[in-house]
Structure 1
């Protein structure tokens, strides 16, 4: 666990630094520099591009993580083989994109016609993100997650800040902003390439015949099977934003995107831990070490739930103060309850721990595929029904509902097939303390300065959370673990 712990801490630190930059971008810079329509275009183009990435990747990312431990001296050949397959996937996606371009245009023509002029940029962002994702999986297999996370979470957002800042100062126009957006993804990719070269692991070998007998066919078969699950999972995450743009307006998507980003902070610990835990889970399955998987399953659930509930309580108690600092808040505050609904969905997700990762690397990965594909259709249907009735809150309800159903089925399946369970009496205690912290939202402070209100309300939540943790004797292991790993991650 030492490698996992060290990389988890570093990854979490970079993730939260990215959150700080992201918060400045999403909650202040973007709404200040861009009008709601421009912000909607800025977000929708990226969401469309990232939606295409897993379809182009063909499941190669999970395939690399699963099959990497089986290789000893053919890692460079494995990388070149994986990149070739991904580029073939990108060509296929590009052909489909151009083949159905008219239908795609019609999808946005009525409610978001301004987006149509920028659809050509989508594939370029997809290409850069695709290669980056393959390299990220390759680095993850070496338990090197932190620096790729830095480029993805921090550097990319910093470049976006510079780009939009240049627009705010009048140095470039909006068309150049969108062209520059493509360049930011390209520069980020170059950064990851340089890092892998520096590590000495980025070399190319095209002697694919050196693979063990049956390795290539097994790798391709597994990747293609998991590709649908990965693509469907991304669809579940991104489709709501795209559907809001097509069914409501770009302005509505701008409101939704800001609210969604606030709620996204809740799951950041899960994202950091999940990335590092995947190769460890794959290794435990390779050695058939089920007890260690169960231990990791429950440990991650408790730690994620404890930290994420605290973050969610802080965000919701201070939601009005947070929106106070958003430029044109009279427009964007309409997304307040999207934050609540999406945040609840994220809490459900983190509580169920790394169930998807366990399924992906187990012998039951086909079940994860079937379930994820079904759920992607369910969320599209739910959004199609709920968005016309409830607007952006309908999209949030669809996402949260799918999270609950999706995770409940996976939980029951893992419990039945592998006797794995992430829950214990500790889970109930954590939920109780989280509810106490969340309940601080009913306390009404005098209308002082918004910064003072933010401070006092945060201190109140922290105090209630800490007192509840002491009374119920929870969180001590989590804080001791964090302090220990912060020390060991130092120079």
Structure 2
């Protein structure tokens, strides 16, 4: 777990820095500077691009991780890397041609409720392509055990440049319309920077030759395209559907709430950058016991860290919304619903990495497609009835069902178990601390109240997790920190 902990720690720090920058923008700058209409529009464009990104990437970012370790010679590795970069271009061209042919129909469908979308609709495929090739070159770096730079670009770089652009609006250097176009340019720069970094790690030797195991590669990647679409639809499909039923400004309210809740999944995102290729290697080498041990460790460690983040959000959510425009206040319930769904998905550890690198990925994929259909149906039912709260409820039901299905599949088919007695202890501690602090109200400035309550939550939560040794790895890390502090004295 050495390299996992090392790079996971760096990735976690980087990701939280990125989320801090994004949090400042999302909570305090986007609403007053962009306004709800253009803020909702920006989120809608990025959500649509994220949903179609797996089609443009053809699943090559996952395929690269799974098959690269199976290449035995330098020649095979060069052929495979070339294939993962060049082959997606064929499908990209095909998709763009289809999009141009049906442009009028697509444009009418997505703009019938919010006509403002029409002017910017072409940015969706452009950003989707940039996202796709960013992920491919990020995977290129990750298979060589370099996950930090790409994570920095993804989590910090994009948000930092977006913040700069936002300040450009504030100081009247650019208009809100310029901001939308500039956002597309930022994703292009991120893709190019990651490409050059990947090439520096492993110099490309492009060969227009099909790998010898192309049949297995294409079979796997065809399923991964769908699985990626399933995952992204579960993540962003709700925002897309809100555009069909409500004024686009409601996407701004919903996006703020979901952004707050998504902070809970940061530890998972950070750890998976390095755990994914390690999981693929262990499965390729049939090291079942080591994989099972990794499964348990990732589960409990993510549960503890994610539980702490969730607690800090939930107990402070009322004070946090006090600092925002009142029209955003309806998002509090959305934060709880989306947050709980992210927490449950988080405690499954490296579940996704195990499934997508196993021979059973097809069956789970079809289950995922069914759940996307369920998500669409639930949104169609609940959005007209309850608005953004209805969309959050539909997302909570869908993601929870999907997570439970994946868990049972891994347990039954592969006999891998993520939970231990410590799992129950962690849930008990988290729930107890929530009840202890949620109903406390400090009649002072919201920022001071949030800081004070967070410090108290941290002390109590860390104490009980350390005392009951819920995670030996986290206890060891804390012991090392305490030792360094004592030596420093």
> Common fold, TM-score beyond 0.5?
yes
* Structure 2 CA distance for aligned equivalents of residues 125 and 207 of structure 1: 27
* Structure 2 CA distance for aligned equivalents of residues 439 and 95 of structure 1: 56
Residue 476 of structure 1 deviates from its aligned partner by 5.1
Residue 257 of structure 1 deviates from its aligned partner by 0.3
CA RMSD of aligned residues (A): 2.0
| 1:295-354: CA deviation from partner (whole Å, max 9, x where unpaired) | 11111110011111111111111112222333xx21212211110100000011012222
Shift in alpha-carbon separation, 1:140–1:308, aligned structure 2, 3 A = same
Residue 2 of structure 1 deviates from its aligned partner by 2.3
Residue 5 of structure 1 deviates from its aligned partner by 2.1
- 252, 258, 267: which one pairs with 1:260? 258
Task: Check the 8 A contact 1:440/1:461 in 2, yes or no.
Answer: no
Task: Check the 8 A contact 2:234/2:399 in 1, yes or no.
Answer: no
Corresponding residue for 2:411? 415
SS in 1 for 2:87: helix
Q: Following TM superposition, where does structure 1 have runs of at least 4 consecutive aligned residues deviating by more than 6 angstroms?
A: 485-488
Corresponding residue for 2:207? 206
Corresponding residue for 1:319? 317
SS in 1 for 2:69: helix
* Structure 2 CA distance for aligned equivalents of residues 335 and 81 of structure 1: 45
Residue 17 of structure 1 deviates from its aligned partner by 1.0
Residue 368 of structure 1 deviates from its aligned partner by 2.0
Corresponding residue for 1:367? 363
Residue 265 of structure 1 deviates from its aligned partner by 0.3
Matches within 5 A, 1:10-409: 10-71=10-71, 72-73=73-74, 74-199=76-201, 201-208=202-209, 211=211, 213=212, 215-326=213-324, 329-409=325-405
Shift in alpha-carbon separation, 1:486–1:132, aligned structure 2, 3 A = farther
Shift in alpha-carbon separation, 1:287–1:470, aligned structure 2, 3 A = closer
SS in 1 for 2:121: helix
Matches within 5 A, 1:402-481: 402-470=398-466, 472-475=468-471, 477-481=473-477
Task: Check the 8 A contact 1:6/1:485 in 2, yes or no.
Answer: no
* Structure 1 CA distance for aligned equivalents of residues 444 and 407 of structure 2: 46
* Structure 1 CA distance for aligned equivalents of residues 341 and 113 of structure 2: 28
Residue 267 of structure 1 deviates from its aligned partner by 0.7
Which structure 1 segments of 5+ residues have no match? none
Residue 432 of structure 1 deviates from its aligned partner by 0.3
SS in 2 for 1:34: helix
Task: Check the 8 A contact 1:284/1:292 in 2, yes or no.
Answer: yes
Shift in alpha-carbon separation, 1:202–1:127, aligned structure 2, 3 A = farther
* Structure 2 CA distance for aligned equivalents of residues 305 and 86 of structure 1: 36
Shift in alpha-carbon separation, 1:135–1:442, aligned structure 2, 3 A = closer
- Give TM-score scaled by structure 2 length: 0.94
Shift in alpha-carbon separation, 1:3–1:469, aligned structure 2, 3 A = closer
* Structure 2 CA distance for aligned equivalents of residues 61 and 189 of structure 1: 13
Shift in alpha-carbon separation, 1:446–1:356, aligned structure 2, 3 A = closer
* Structure 1 CA distance for aligned equivalents of residues 253 and 338 of structure 2: 14
Residue 207 of structure 1 deviates from its aligned partner by 4.8
* Structure 2 CA distance for aligned equivalents of residues 146 and 439 of structure 1: 37
Which structure 2 segments of 5+ residues have no match? 485-489
Task: Check the 8 A contact 1:229/1:372 in 2, yes or no.
Answer: yes
* Structure 1 CA distance for aligned equivalents of residues 136 and 188 of structure 2: 14
* Structure 2 CA distance for aligned equivalents of residues 238 and 217 of structure 1: 32
Task: Decide which moves more: 272-281 or 187-196.
Answer: 187-196
Residue 485 of structure 1 deviates from its aligned partner by 10
* Structure 1 CA distance for aligned equivalents of residues 481 and 102 of structure 2: 50
Corresponding residue for 2:487? none
Task: Check the 8 A contact 1:14/1:150 in 2, yes or no.
Answer: yes
* Structure 2 CA distance for aligned equivalents of residues 487 and 287 of structure 1: 37
Tell me the matched-pair count. 482
* Structure 2 CA distance for aligned equivalents of residues 396 and 360 of structure 1: 27
SS in 2 for 1:208: coil
Shift in alpha-carbon separation, 1:22–1:150, aligned structure 2, 3 A = same
| 1:27-52: CA deviation from partner (whole Å, max 9, x where unpaired) | 11211211100101111111111111
* Structure 2 CA distance for aligned equivalents of residues 467 and 67 of structure 1: 43
Shift in alpha-carbon separation, 1:455–1:485, aligned structure 2, 3 A = closer
Corresponding residue for 1:9? 9
* Structure 2 CA distance for aligned equivalents of residues 75 and 487 of structure 1: 44
Shift in alpha-carbon separation, 1:202–1:244, aligned structure 2, 3 A = farther
* Structure 1 CA distance for aligned equivalents of residues 254 and 169 of structure 2: 23
- Give TM-score scaled by structure 1 length: 0.94
SS in 1 for 2:113: coil
* Structure 2 CA distance for aligned equivalents of residues 305 and 100 of structure 1: 46
Residue 281 of structure 1 deviates from its aligned partner by 0.9
* Structure 2 CA distance for aligned equivalents of residues 50 and 483 of structure 1: 41
Residue 263 of structure 1 deviates from its aligned partner by 0.3
SS in 2 for 1:70: coil
Residue 471 of structure 1 deviates from its aligned partner by 5.0
